[in-house]
Structure 1
Amino acid sequence: MTKFSIKTTLTAAALGLAAFAGTAHADEADTLVTILTAPEAQTQMMAMVLTMKSAEQGAMPHVMLCGPAADLALKEAPESATAPQKPLGVGPQQLMQKIMGLPGAKVEVCAIYLPNKGAGPEVLLDGVTVAAPDAMAAAMLDADARMSF
């Protein structure tokens, strides 16, 4: 295959994907349920980036943090939650707080996080709540919801 035909093929493929993405956007779900448990700051940051980008495209974010990822919701979060990540220059907690500021967005910690931490809801950032298992299960099963992470 020549350089020209490879470039032409790649361009055609990119245009095809762009067209498909445009139709997928029109059919996008009303709610994006993000369930994050990963302890790594980069994974946490990418989850927040994708959640924010989905919100910018019309999805309603509903984030549940559990295990080490729930530390993002703490008023006294570990440095890994607050240290700036490239290229945005903000930490996962700061981006999560921007998501929390969006109309209708929800950020929750899983129901077992605080009891197993030996803490109460007073340790959480304002606006973060504890997920009710029945309500979270319903959000996950909602026909209009998409799941991430």
Structure 2
Amino acid sequence: MKKALVALAIALGSTAVLADKPAVTVVLNAQSPMTQGMAMVLANQMQEQGAQVDILLCDQAGDLALKGAGGEALKPNNVTPAQLLDGALKKGATASVCALYLPNSGKQAEDLKEGIKPAKPADMGAALLEPNRKVIGF
């Protein structure tokens, strides 16, 4: 019985920690490499400061989600926005492309990096309406 109570307490404690993690959605649709880079730098910084970051890529920013995405390396760290996105994903961020990206870009779901999927409008709308979620657009 004690073991079951301890396990329950640990499970509830870890759930409480996750619930306290601030939720942030970064909506990125800018074409500019500097704007894309700044959005990804800030997404990474928010993660390092304890936030759960979800990234929605729309319009030409959706190209960052493609396998083999390149782009212009930005100073001072000489990394591309796509590399910054990869770093955020490795640290636990989620990313999706907006529902309009694939059908209007001529790309397919299999062209996307592993773990990135098309967003479902109903799910995204519900997430954006969460009372404690911050939504930041670039």
Length-normalised TM-score, structure 1? 0.75
Structure 2 unaligned residues grouped into runs of 5+: 1-19
1:53 deviates by: 0.6
Question: 1:48-107: per-residue Cα shift (whole Å, max 9, x none)?
Answer: 011111111111010000001101111143x4xx3211112110000100111123x210
Residue 84 of structure 1, aligned match among 73, 78, 83: 73
Report percent identity of matched pairs: 39
| Aligned-partner Cα distance in 2 for 1:84–1:31 | 29
Q: Give how far 1:36 is off.
A: 0.5
Distance apart, 1:131 and its partner CA: 0.5
Counterpart of 1:69 in 2: which secondary structure?
helix
Counterpart of 1:33 in structure 2 is 25
- Map of 1:59-138 to 2, 5 A cutoff? 59-77=51-69, 79=70, 82-103=71-92, 105-138=93-126
Q: Runs of 5+ in structure 1 lacking a partner?
A: 1-27
Shift of the alpha carbon at 1:29?
6.3
Residue in structure 2 matching 1:50, options 42, 55, 73: 42
Coordinate RMSD, CA, aligned = 1.5
- After TM superposition, the runs of 4+ consecutive aligned structure 1 residues lying more than 3 A away are none
**Structure with larger Rg:** 1
The alpha-carbon distance between structure 1 residues 72 and 110, as it changes in their structure 2 partners (threshold 3 A), is same
**Partner in structure 2 of residue 15 of structure 1:** none
Is 2:134 the partner of 1:146?
yes
The answer (yes or no) to whether the contact 1:29–1:145 under 8 Å persists in 2 is no
TM-score (norm 2): 0.80
Q: Secondary structure at the match of 1:88?
A: coil
- For each residue in 1:6-45, what CA deviation from the matched residue of structure 2 results, as whole angstroms up to 9, or x when unmatched? xxxxxxxxxxxxxxxxxxxxxx962110000000000000
